[in-house]
């Protein structure tokens, strides 16, 4: 049997799916290994896609040519855009997805990819060989990528294959580890501890030890999930209803004909904890695995267990919980915000203290899970390991949390593994290009001491990194690497032309004063006009939206929702956007100053010892990245700048 491929991907969760599809679609023979074919694309936590900042990631994945957004569109049972009461920069789409349908869609997509093989087998070892000479440069050595360049000069070994638990050896030159939360994973429910992966699946045993033997440092992280409750045991009349939105913008540019009536097929609901709930939790705090000392791993700061919320926010009288369906063909209801590692009897008491849950029937108990992950500062911005050529990491294995963060890393790792194999320049997304670039830069530059979650506040360029312009920012890159086809790229160019044309029309069209116009302005709580005014100037008024202008704009063209949205935001925030781009250009001057790959920071006169240690560990590729390392001061950057100048 031919057990050879160019790229091997370990794990068929959200990171592994995107990595494998990207590699295969770029023409490389790819094998995707999973411990269970029935769990491909599984959502072991909440069956939702998107959310604050996470929605941005999904739009960006799609703009690069990824799959998550397209699958989520087809599996949507409710769509909502969050933060509409705030500025456009933080508007974030979130959908409730049918969990089983999403898995079926993803599995079928993988099975239909011609360069991809899907194999149920557990990988327990990575085979490497020594690199001759003093550190061989990677395929990126001669690449000209403007702001950054990645090398494998630190690598002493290269990947040549993987070994399965059945003893099979597969030859390959690129391996992407997307093991999620499965590496040596343990489940905690009260004082009960057992080896298992999410949803009761088998843990991955052996690969952690193999990685450690290759010098890869691992640490323990922790996450958790709430109980699932049977629909019939909930009194929905006691809950607040949360309906879907009226106008739906799909995640994917490939999705056509999406409407609210077609996707908002179920309601979600809201309930709140109360004093009785809090008393039960506090009375049993020592029985929680989080507080009994059983769990040693670090949990997520921004998605904590309910007991952690009570300890951290002791003065808060109640906490909001969201009751969300797991699908249309199941009666399982997910209690978002009620993650816990309490014993089963306490879980029942907690749930039945909630309004509408007095007779709650638990179908799946809540649990905490602890697992091995890697220190992401061991990786280049391409997500290749610095010390092992051809080995990449993606997803929760890299210390992140969330399906969207995982998928974003997966597509980057898959693209870069393929580009390296094809001896093409790497794809390095910068902070000003995308939330994906921000996510990866944070990981490889700053590292993370807890499961990392993407938030809009992590980006200094929020106004130019919006959902509506993800295609404008990233589709040309997806086209360049080969994941965006000619037909889709043509449609993308047409959309950009429509946006530009409509902005130009608004800027040159004058509305003369009239009774009709002033009545319109007064109706919209806006000031009357006495002289002619451009439509673009009216649109810049905070109280007037693009849709409202249709009342006095007789020549308005018929445009799609996405085009209308981009036009409105582009006109309203034009001045702010211009200032943000000026800041981007200023920062780029630092990004363009590359650091020599073999620089000995301990011999650079004037750099503090702490900074030298951090720089030596992270090995930044340019001054911009160096400036973002914790422990490296502006004075250290000035010294490096002088050093580079003296070296010509």
pLDDT for 135 equals 46
Task: Say if residues 523 and 551 touch (Cβ distance below 8 Å).
Answer: no
Confidence of residue 476 (pLDDT cuts 50, 70, 90): very high
Average pLDDT over residues 384-390: 96
Separation of alpha carbons 222 and 496, rounded Å: 43
Separation of alpha carbons 180 and 394, rounded Å: 8
Separation of alpha carbons 364 and 334, rounded Å: 10
Q: Which of 150-164, 207-221, 440-454 has the lowest mean pLDDT?
A: 150-164
Query: How far separated are the first and last CA of the chain, in Å rounded?
Result: 55
C-alpha Rg value of the chain to the nearest Å: 26
Q: 303 pLDDT exceeds 90?
A: no
* Domains of the chain with bracketed CATH: 7-222+371-481 (3.50.50.60), 228-369 (2.40.30.260), 508-578 (1.10.10.1800), 593-646 (1.10.150.570)
Q: Which of 155-164, 298-307, 449-458 has the lowest mean pLDDT?
A: 298-307
DSSP code per residue over 81-145: EETTTS-GGG-EEEEEE-HHHHHHHHHHHHHT-TTEEEEE--EEEEEEEEPSSS----TTTT---
User: Which one of 123-127, 621-625, 640-644 scores highest in mean pLDDT?
Assistant: 123-127
Q: 141 pLDDT exceeds 50?
A: no
pLDDT for 122 equals 97
Confidence of residue 407 (pLDDT cuts 50, 70, 90): very high
Q: List, for residues 541-586, the tens digit of each pLDDT value.
A: 999 999 999 999 989 999 998 999 999 999 999 999 999 988 888 8
E-assigned strands of 349-431?
Answer: 362-364, 367-374, 388-389, 391-393
User: Which one of 122-136, 405-419, 600-614 scores highest in mean pLDDT?
Assistant: 405-419
Q: List, for residues 351-369, the tens digit of each pLDDT value.
A: 999 999 999 999 999 999 9
Q: List, for residues 35-64, the tens digit of each pLDDT value.
A: 999 999 999 999 999 999 999 999 999 999
Task: Say if residues 404 and 48 touch (Cβ distance below 8 Å).
Answer: no
Separation of alpha carbons 597 and 156, rounded Å: 15
Torsions phi, psi for 198 (to 5 deg): -60, 150
- Percent of the chain having pLDDT more than 90? 80
Of the candidates 248, 298, 239, 301, the one whose C-alpha atom is nearest the C-alpha of residue 268 is 239
Average pLDDT over residues 305-322: 92
β partners of residue 228? 334, 364
Q: Which of 100-109, 124-133, 300-309, 601-610 has the lowest mean pLDDT?
A: 300-309
pLDDT for 75 equals 98
| 272 SS3 class | strand
Q: 225 pLDDT exceeds 60?
A: yes
Average pLDDT over residues 497-515: 96
DSSP code per residue over 359-374: T--EEE--EEEEEEEE
pLDDT for 133 equals 60
Confidence of residue 257 (pLDDT cuts 50, 70, 90): confident
């Amino acid at each position: 049997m031919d057990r050879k491929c160019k790229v091997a991907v370990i794990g068929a969760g959200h990171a592994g799916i995107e990595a494998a599809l990207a590699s295969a679609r770029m023409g490389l023979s790819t094998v995707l290994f999973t411990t269970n074919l029935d769990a491909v694309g599984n959502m072991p936590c909440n069956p939702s896609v998107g959310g604050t900042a996470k929605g941005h990631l999904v739009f960006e994945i799609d703009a690069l040519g990824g799959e998550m957004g397209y699958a989520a569109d087809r599996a949507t049972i409710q769509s909502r855009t969050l933060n509409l009461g705030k500025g456009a920069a933080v508007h974030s789409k979130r959908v409730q997805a049918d969990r089983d349908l999403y898995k079926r869609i993803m599995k079928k997509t993988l099975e239909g990819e011609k360069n991809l093989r899907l194999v149920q087998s557990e990988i327990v070892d990575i085979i490497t060989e020594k690199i001759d000479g003093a550190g061989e440069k990677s395929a990126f050595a001669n690449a000209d990528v403007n702001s950054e360049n990645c090398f494998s000069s630190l690598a002493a070994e290269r990947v040549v294959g993987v070994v399965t638990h059945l003893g099979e050896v597969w030859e390959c030159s690129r391996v992407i580890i997307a093991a999620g939360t499965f590496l040596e994973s343990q489940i905690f429910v009260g004082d009960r501890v057992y080896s298992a992966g999410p949803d009761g699946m088998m843990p991955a045993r052996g690969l952690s030890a193999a990685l450690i033997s290759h010098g890869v440092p691992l640490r323990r992280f922790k996450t958790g999930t709430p109980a699932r409750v049977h629909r019939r045991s909930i009194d929905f009349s006691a809950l607040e209803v949360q309906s879907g939105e009226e106008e739906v913008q799909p995640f994917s540019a490939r999705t056509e004909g999406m409407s609210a009536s077609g996707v908002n097929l179920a309601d979600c609901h809201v309930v709140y904890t109360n004093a009785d709930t809090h008393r039960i939790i506090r009375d049993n705090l020592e029985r929680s695995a989080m507080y009994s000392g059983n769990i040693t791993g670090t949990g997520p700061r921004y998605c904590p267990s309910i007991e952690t919320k009570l300890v951290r926010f002791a003065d808060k009288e109640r906490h909001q919980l969201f009751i969300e369906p797991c699908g249309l063909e199941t009666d399982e209801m997910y209690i978002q915000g009620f993650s816990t590692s309490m014993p089963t009897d306490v879980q029942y008491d907690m749930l039945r203290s909630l309004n509408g849950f007095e007779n709650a029937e638990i179908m799946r108990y809540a649990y905490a899970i602890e697992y091995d992950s890697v220190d992401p500062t061991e990786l280049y911005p391409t997500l290749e390991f610095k010390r092992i050529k051809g080995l990449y990491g993606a997803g929760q294995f890299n210390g992140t949390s969330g399906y969207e963060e995982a998928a974003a890393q997966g597509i980057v790792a898959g693209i870069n593994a393929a580009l390296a194999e094809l001896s093409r320049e790497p794809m390095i997304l910068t902070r000003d290009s995308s939330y994906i670039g921000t996510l990866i830069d944070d990981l490889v530059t700053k590292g993370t001491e807890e499961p990392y979650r993407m938030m809009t506040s992590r980006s200094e360029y929020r106004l130019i990194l919006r959902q509506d312009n993800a295609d404008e920012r990233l589709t040309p890159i997806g086209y360049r690497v080969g994941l965006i086809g000619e037909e889709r790229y043509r449609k993308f160019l047409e959309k950009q032309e429509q946006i530009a044309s409509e902005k130009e029309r608004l800027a040159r069209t004058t509305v003369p004063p009239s009774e009709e116009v002033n009545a319109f302005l007064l109706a919209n709580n806006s000031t009357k006009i006495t002289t002619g005014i451009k439509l673009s100037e009216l649109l810049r008024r905070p109280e007037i939206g693009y849709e409202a202008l249709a009342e006095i704009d007789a020549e308005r063209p018929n445009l799609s929702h996405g085009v209308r949205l981009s036009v409105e935001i582009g006109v309203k925030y034009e001045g702010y956007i211009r200032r943000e781009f000026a800041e981007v250009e200023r920062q780029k001057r630092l990004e363009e100053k590359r650091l020599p790959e073999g620089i000995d920071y301990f011999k650079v006169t004037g750099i503090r010892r702490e900074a030298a240690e951090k720089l030596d560990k992270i090995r930044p590729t340019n001054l911009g990245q160096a400036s973002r390392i914790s422990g490296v001061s502006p004075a250290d950057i000035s010294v490096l700048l002088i050093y580079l100048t003296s070296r010509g």
